[in-house]
């Protein structure tokens, strides 16, 4: 697979890679791997939520508001 970046993106990647003590190719590989892992976790959570909703398992709006408040205060 080939991925093409603009000259500005390549320069930015090189700068970040240098600061991280690596090379741009390895930086991109690691970033994509982390993204794919996070995307898989997100999709699994969505599927879990949809399955719970299909079973009629919901929480009240007040409880959801409290959870969001707690999450954003953390």
Q: What is the pLDDT of residues 13-22, one digit of tens each?
A: 999 999 999 9
Whether 29 is in a domain gets the answer yes
Yes or no: say if 23 and 17 are a contact pair by the CB < 8 Å rule.
yes
Yes or no: say if 8 and 16 are a contact pair by the CB < 8 Å rule.
no
Yes or no: say if 24 and 14 are a contact pair by the CB < 8 Å rule.
yes
Q: What is the pLDDT of residues 26-37, one digit of tens each?
A: 999 999 999 999
Instruction: Provide the domain count of the chain.
Output: 1
Can you give the residue range of the structural domain that contains 16?
Answer: 7-73
Whether 52 is in a domain gets the answer yes
Whether 33 is in a domain gets the answer yes
Q: What is the pLDDT of residues 33-65, one digit of tens each?
A: 999 999 999 999 999 999 999 999 988 899 999
Whether 26 is in a domain gets the answer yes
Whether 1 is in a domain gets the answer no
Yes or no: say if 5 and 13 are a contact pair by the CB < 8 Å rule.
yes
């Amino acid at each position: 697979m080939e991925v093409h970046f603009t000259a500005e993106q390549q320069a930015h990647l090189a700068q970040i890679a240098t600061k991280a003590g690596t090379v741009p190719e390895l930086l991109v590989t690691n970033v994509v791997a982390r993204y794919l892992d996070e995307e898989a976790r997100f999709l699994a959570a969505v599927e879990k939520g949809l399955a719970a909703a299909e079973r009629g398992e919901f929480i009240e709006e007040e409880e959801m508001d409290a959870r969001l408040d707690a999450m954003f205060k953390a």
